[in-house]
């Protein structure tokens, strides 16, 4: 089953500092926000260019592709990607 996951943060990977671990949430109000559609679109292109994998609710891992953004308010845009997220992980995000 596919869910919408909003990008909520990132941190250095503990075992490889050259990599990032990204977190996602089902709540757009907890997502990282950007001030303009242009900035959010640029970030979407970046996230599509790097291999971001999540644990899949179908088993194994899934590489996210097709990042998009949506407007939440005046000068507030958030990034999301649809994927087979595990719902419990999205709630923690």
Amino acid 53: pLDDT:
93
How far apart are the C-alpha atoms of 43 and 75, rounded to whole Å?
A: 15
Which is more confidently placed, 90 or 25? 25
Reported as a single tens digit per residue, the pLDDT across 1-17 is: 999 999 999 999 899 98
Per-residue pLDDT reduced to its tens digit, 18-60: 889 999 999 999 999 999 999 999 999 999 999 999 999 999 9
The predicted structure's pLDDT at residue 77: 98
| Residue 52 CB neighbours (<10 A) | 20
- pLDDT of 93 reads 61
Supply 20's token pair.
């990032």
pTM for the predicted model, two decimal places: 0.92
Tens-digit pLDDT profile for residues 57-79:
999 999 999 999 999 999 999 99
């Amino acid at each position: 089953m596919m869910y919408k996951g909003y990008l909520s943060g990132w941190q250095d990977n503990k075992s490889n500092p050259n990599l990032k671990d990204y977190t996602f949430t089902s709540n757009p109000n907890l997502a990282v926000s950007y001030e303009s559609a242009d900035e959010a679109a640029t970030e979407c292109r970046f996230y599509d260019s790097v291999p971001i994998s999540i644990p899949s609710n179908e088993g194994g891992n899934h590489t996210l592709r097709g990042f998009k953004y949506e407007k939440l308010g005046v000068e507030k845009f958030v990034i999301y990607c649809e994927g087979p997220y595990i719902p419990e992980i999205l709630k923690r995000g």
